[in-house]
Structure 1
Amino acid sequence: MTVKHIFLMVLMTVSIFSCNSTKTVVTEIPKQSISNFDKLSSIPQVISVEKLMPSSHFDHYYELQFNQPVDHDDLSKGSFNQRVLLGLEDISLPVIVELKGYGIGSRAAGELSKHYNTNELVIEHRYFNRSRPNTIDWNTLTIENAAKDQTIIINAIRNALFPEAKFITTGISKGCQTTMAHRRFFPKDVDASVCYVGPLNYQREDPRVYSHLKTVATKAERDAVKDFQNLCFEHKTALLQKFKDAANSKNMTWEIGAEKALEYTILEYSFVFWQYGSSVASIPEKDASVTQIYAHLIDVVGYGFFEEQSVNNLQPYFWAALTQQGIYGYETAPFKSYLNTEEIYKFDWAFPEGVTKDYDLKPMQEIKQFLDTKAENMIFIYGEYDAWSATAVELNDTSQEREVYKFVQPKGDHSTRIRSFSKTTQAKIYSIIDSWIEN
């Protein structure tokens, strides 16, 4: 390069600088992008965020504590902390929101987030596990307060990380009830819902359960179940001793007493047998030993539904069931010769100590009205034999035009999921969900 060329280049540079000398040019240094952790931490209701080891397909995993009002209509009653998990794969992907009806028991991805390899938000239900205040005002445990918990969390997470993403709620059993209730109060919070094996009871002790147990499966199979219950009552004295021995060795107690608890356990057998798909072939013969009879009874029913400490842990379930969401009772007429009564055995004893409340029919009727007239983009999954299918959601003639669907797996039980169906039906279900995610 000649000296002339160098001179001309310098002159041009000076000229350019001179032409812009009256205008300040500022080149911004790119700001460091705000981390997802910081975005979550900045949510006003969030009091803590902990980054956990990733699980399933998620790249990042967080545990959050949301501070929530005990009563959303009366903030003077204080607050409690609600546990939330967030599995983060990609903020451009949809978010599957699993609404728990109980506490969070696992960090494993649910069926939908696993299928789509997408993000997952899991919300523990108020007053269960680590979302339980030291003292509970039971009258604040309502489906409306729970739905308001969920709308706060969903919208806060959406605004912080996923402003453009599709949101789909899902729930299993009582989580399905929770999902229905959330949609009834906040129908536009999410784009769609997939509900698994959840009852919609119309009475506290919904009699449709009794009808289901009298018609489920084949007569021979139903007879085998009832014959076993009769066998248990015939050996009640010996079984009661084993019950008491188990109580001593396992440090168990029953508020209703061991004898009454055993009666409840025998009556519960038919419900839980069909609920969880036990095999008729596993039922002991009539000449079985007391040890074999007892082992099978406890293997099917367990101790956890009536034992005092277990009932205390499940008290939020019993409260909700006995005041708004419904449950069932046990018909005793078929066993009158053993029990000397035909009265329905109920769960009144499961109320918290010193607290009772009348059952309110209105909340479930309002959910039914919502499903019958306004609900959109919902799928309900059931197993045919499941005892809770006795009170399954019923669709009407307008459901399909609102894209509300129901799929029932033949002979399925309470563990029925989309993967339980034939490949053809699975494809049909996922094609519906695909359309909700893609639109």
Structure 2
Amino acid sequence: MNKIKFNFSILVFSLLIIGCKTQQQPIVVIKKASTFEKLAQIKNIVKIEKNAPVSHFDENYELWFEQPIDYSDLSKGTFRQKVLLGFENDTLPVFVELQGYGIYTEKSGELANHYKANQLTIEHRYFNNSRPENIAWNTLTIENAARDQANIISAIREVIYPTSKFITTGISKGCQTTMAHRKFFPENVDACVCYVGPLNYEREDPRVYEFLNNVGTQQERDSVFNFQELCFENRSALKKILEDTAKERGMSWEFGIEKAIDYTILEYSFAFWQWGTDSKNIPSKDATPQEIYKHLIDVVGYGFFETKAVDDLQPYFWAALTQQGIYGYQTAPFKKYIGTDEVYKFEWAFPEGVYKEYDTRPMQEIKSFLDSTAERMLFIYGEYDAWSSTAVELNKGANKRELYKFVKPKGDHTTRIKNFNKEKQQTIYDIIDSWVK
């Protein structure tokens, strides 16, 4: 028995040798390139860091793209733009978070989390880490920003996700950014989902005033106005508290402490509705100055007017004052306290020594795009959000082009798909499902 086994083994071994000699073809093992190696192939990526995984992503990358400062004049040089890639699978959809500001988290957003899919997050040019030392302000346009994003999306799509669906999404100014990218590069992605973003037609869009005069109930609006009057009646005491706080925290205001308290009080009505403040929390008329001040700052904060905050937000103010629009403050109801009925504006927020007229064309062109040729766009708004005063309006034929708008009753600026009832959530996700398949 042992002899038979041995002879059979020799026979098999001999046949293997004969087969190898006859075919003369070596076995080649092809190693699939890693995500890191694929990213390294992109010519305008100048730095790649692989970070610890977050959310559901298997891999997490921080990328730096070298981008032209001005696409119409390449001699102006380049800047570096920060991008995050949450990689899950190269066949799953990619949700592209277009930031209107800087990147504030590596975690997955609502859509990438819902689908357990990939996420590409693009920091807006000239914000946070993507801010050159000396900004050429005239190069901060919605078209240049859209070109940045198109460059990045195209490069990532080509080397990592050639067969995946790409959906852009953005919140607030990120929604404005998403609309602009869709307008300039409608074929760059497959669809987009926009959250709580305004479409302003003027630098100080008057629709804001009409909205604030009609939002909510009369009782709620009266409570807001009465609190603003209470603040003005206690103006001296509030200013003293602000001065003391400024000394403690090293804060200052370009237009001085007097205007700082006035602007803060005037901003209260917009911020109240933007962030969904409960009118039951408004202090009564017999509240102390400290109680009044605390509520005022809890709602408005320091981050819109204070010098350092304005410097950090300078790219926002530039965009708002030159192309994307903002609002002003009606002072007529408080003339007896302020001494004027002129609208308070934001021209003071321009970079020092720089001014530019507001160009109405970009937002009108986006409106025309939405009214005529835009496809596969979904808009989310909160009914009571002050920024809904200038929300996108869709015409009657919009649904034929797969344009949809959903408004959360009494919702504020934090409104997301998850805030709708289950039935409405299902309707929204059914639409997005059809885009990502």
TM-score normalised by L of structure 2: 0.96
Question: 1 CA distance for matches of 2:5 and 2:240?
Answer: 111
Question: 2 CA distance for matches of 1:101 and 1:137?
Answer: 18
The CA deviation string for residues 328-356 of structure 1, in whole angstroms up to 9 with x for no partner, is 00001111111111110000000000111
Match of 2:233 in 1: 234
Q: Which amino acid aligns with 1:431?
A: D
Alignment of 1:385-396 (within 5 A): 385-396=384-395
Q: Which amino acid aligns with 2:94?
A: V
Q: Which amino acid aligns with 1:325?
A: Q
Alignment of 1:64-75 (within 5 A): 64-75=63-74
Match of 2:164 in 1: 165
Match of 1:62 in 2: 61
Distance 1:5 1:272, change over 3 A: closer
Alignment: residue pair count: 434
Q: Which amino acid aligns with 2:100?
A: G
Match of 1:43 in 2: 42
Question: 1 CA distance for matches of 2:17 and 2:289?
Answer: 104
CA shift for structure 1 position 320: 0.2
Match of 2:425 in 1: 426
Question: 2 CA distance for matches of 1:193 and 1:11?
Answer: 64
Match of 1:32 in 2: 31
Question: 2 CA distance for matches of 1:288 and 1:100?
Answer: 40
The CA deviation string for residues 91-111 of structure 1, in whole angstroms up to 9 with x for no partner, is 110000000000011112100
Distance 1:186 1:8, change over 3 A: closer
Match of 1:257 in 2: 256
Q: Which amino acid aligns with 1:310?
A: A
CA shift for structure 1 position 291: 0.8
The CA deviation string for residues 278-337 of structure 1, in whole angstroms up to 9 with x for no partner, is 010010001111111111111110111000010000000000000000000000111111
Match of 2:295 in 1: 296
SS of residue matched to 1:305 = coil
Distance 1:336 1:61, change over 3 A: same
SS of residue matched to 2:213 = helix
Match of 1:320 in 2: 319
Question: 1 CA distance for matches of 2:294 and 2:129?
Answer: 33
Q: Which amino acid aligns with 1:291?
A: Q
Question: 1 CA distance for matches of 2:16 and 2:346?
Answer: 89
Question: 1 CA distance for matches of 2:9 and 2:400?
Answer: 77
Percent identical residues: 61
Match of 2:119 in 1: 120
CA shift for structure 1 position 25: 3.3
Instruction: Give the RMSD, CA atoms, in angstroms.
Output: 1.8
Distance 1:287 1:87, change over 3 A: same
Q: Which amino acid aligns with 2:268?
A: Y
Match of 1:270 in 2: 269
Match of 1:89 in 2: 88
Match of 1:225 in 2: 224
Is 2:161 the counterpart of 1:153?
Answer: no
Alignment of 1:174-213 (within 5 A): 174-213=173-212
Distance 1:341 1:114, change over 3 A: same
Question: 1 CA distance for matches of 2:277 and 2:5?
Answer: 95
CA shift for structure 1 position 89: 0.8
CA shift for structure 1 position 85: 0.3
Match of 1:133 in 2: 132
CA shift for structure 1 position 241: 0.9
Distance 1:11 1:209, change over 3 A: closer
Distance 1:234 1:93, change over 3 A: same
Match of 2:354 in 1: 355
Match of 1:77 in 2: 76
CA shift for structure 1 position 13: 7.8
Match of 2:380 in 1: 381
CA shift for structure 1 position 16: 6.8
Q: Which amino acid aligns with 2:328?
A: G
Alignment of 1:408-427 (within 5 A): 408-427=407-426
Match of 1:407 in 2: 406
The CA deviation string for residues 62-89 of structure 1, in whole angstroms up to 9 with x for no partner, is 0000010001111100101000000011
The CA deviation string for residues 246-303 of structure 1, in whole angstroms up to 9 with x for no partner, is 1111100100000001100000000000000001001000111111111111111011
CA shift for structure 1 position 12: 7.5
Distance 1:17 1:221, change over 3 A: closer
Listed as ranges, the gaps of 5+ residues in structure 1 are none
Is 2:94 the counterpart of 1:99?
Answer: no
Question: 2 CA distance for matches of 1:219 and 1:363?
Answer: 36
Question: 1 CA distance for matches of 2:425 and 2:89?
Answer: 25
Distance 1:15 1:279, change over 3 A: closer
Question: 2 CA distance for matches of 1:348 and 1:310?
Answer: 16
SS of residue matched to 1:260 = helix
CA shift for structure 1 position 398: 1.1
Listed as ranges, the gaps of 5+ residues in structure 2 are none
TM-score normalised by L of structure 1: 0.96
Question: 1 CA distance for matches of 2:55 and 2:161?
Answer: 20
Question: 2 CA distance for matches of 1:385 and 1:398?
Answer: 26
Match of 1:305 in 2: 304
The CA deviation string for residues 204-263 of structure 1, in whole angstroms up to 9 with x for no partner, is 100000000000000000000000000011111111111111111110010000000110
SS of residue matched to 1:356 = coil
